[in-house]
Amino acid sequence: MAANESANIFGSVSLAVEYLDSLLPDNPLQAPFKNVWISMLNNYTKFQIATWGSLIVHEVIYFLLCLPAFLFQFIPYMQKYKIQKEKPETWEGQWKCFKVILFNHFFIQLPLICGTWYFTEYFDIPYDWDSMPRWHMLLARCFGCAVIEDTWHYFLHRLLHHKKIYKYIHKVHHEFQAPFGMEAEYAHPLETLILGTGFFIGILIFCDHVALLWAWVTVRLIETIDVHSGYDIPLNPLKLIPFYTGARHHDFHHMNFVGNYASTFTWWDRLFGTDSQYVAYTEKMKKLQQLDKKTK
């Protein structure tokens, strides 16, 4: 009886979501996007789309998102938004970071991306346009993936900071005490695998179309490059997301080496008190700013 009642409840919820979805107006950008998607399906195999398409999406989005923070170092006006002003970027450090990033992307991540087609075939994940979830459903699933990834990241990241493990793996990522956008995926190969596992858990749970793979990659890259940017831009739309960590939260982690272990949301750090030093630091800085204003 209980099983039947549960099935009926979930069935009713599903019907309600579908009904509300049907009431939403069509996106005006849907038609051109549909034409591009169908053209892609007609000209490339599923293996090519899942493998090389995923690689292209990752590389193009990653380096495009890194570009603003890279350019900020040459714009004097933007320096007032740099969090650690006393530690500017160096050409030597950025070149070293770029080489490690390319190694990780093509020798660690690409072999994983090559498994995308097998994943979609095994779980019968559709590629066709008619099965494409609407944009708000994709965002909802990406949010679910973000919650799962953030939870995984918090506990495994915190473990990587254990004194018996830190110097062997996670120390590589902390070579840059003042992070910059491209440094987001600068890490030991083992860290790429360990923390990257959290990215795939949500896919296993929520993926109902290959488009979610690309949508979730995009959302995750936007978040991780933003928090590693080294700049706290006032008009950042990501700040509208409740409990979002942001650049200052993660920048303090690089500056302090402990605490603020979460990737996207602040609730785990708040729950376990691992943001206590950050909270004390921000309060101290606020008092100093207020005192500075009074003396002026």
Angle subtended at Cα 115 by Cα 114 and Cα 117, rounded to the nearest 5 degrees: 90
Instruction: Tell me the residue range of the domain where 105 lies.
Output: 46-232
Amino acid at 141: R
Strand, coil or helix: 243: coil
pLDDT tens string 243-295: 999 999 999 999 999 999 999 999 999 999 999 999 999 998 888 877 767 77
d(CA 74, CA 67): 12
H or E stretch covering 34: helix 30-43
253 lies in some domain: no
41 lies in some domain: no
| Cα 269–chain centre separation | 17
14 lies in some domain: no
| pLDDT at residue 21 is higher than 80 | no
| Cα 200–chain centre separation | 12
* pTM for this entry: 0.87
Q: What is the DSSP string of 185-213?
A: G---HHHHHHHHHHHHHHHHHH-SSHHHH
d(CA 11, CA 15): 6
222 lies in some domain: yes
163 lies in some domain: yes
Burial of 122 (0-12, 13-18, 19+ CB in 10 A): exposed
12 lies in some domain: no
| pLDDT at residue 2 is higher than 70 | no
Average pLDDT, the chain: 90
167 lies in some domain: yes
165 lies in some domain: yes
Do the Cβ atoms of 195 and 172 come closer than 8 Å? no
Q: pLDDT grade, residue 296 (50/70/90)?
A: low
Number of domains present in the structure of the chain: 1
pLDDT tens string 143-189: 999 999 999 999 999 999 999 999 999 999 999 999 999 999 999 99
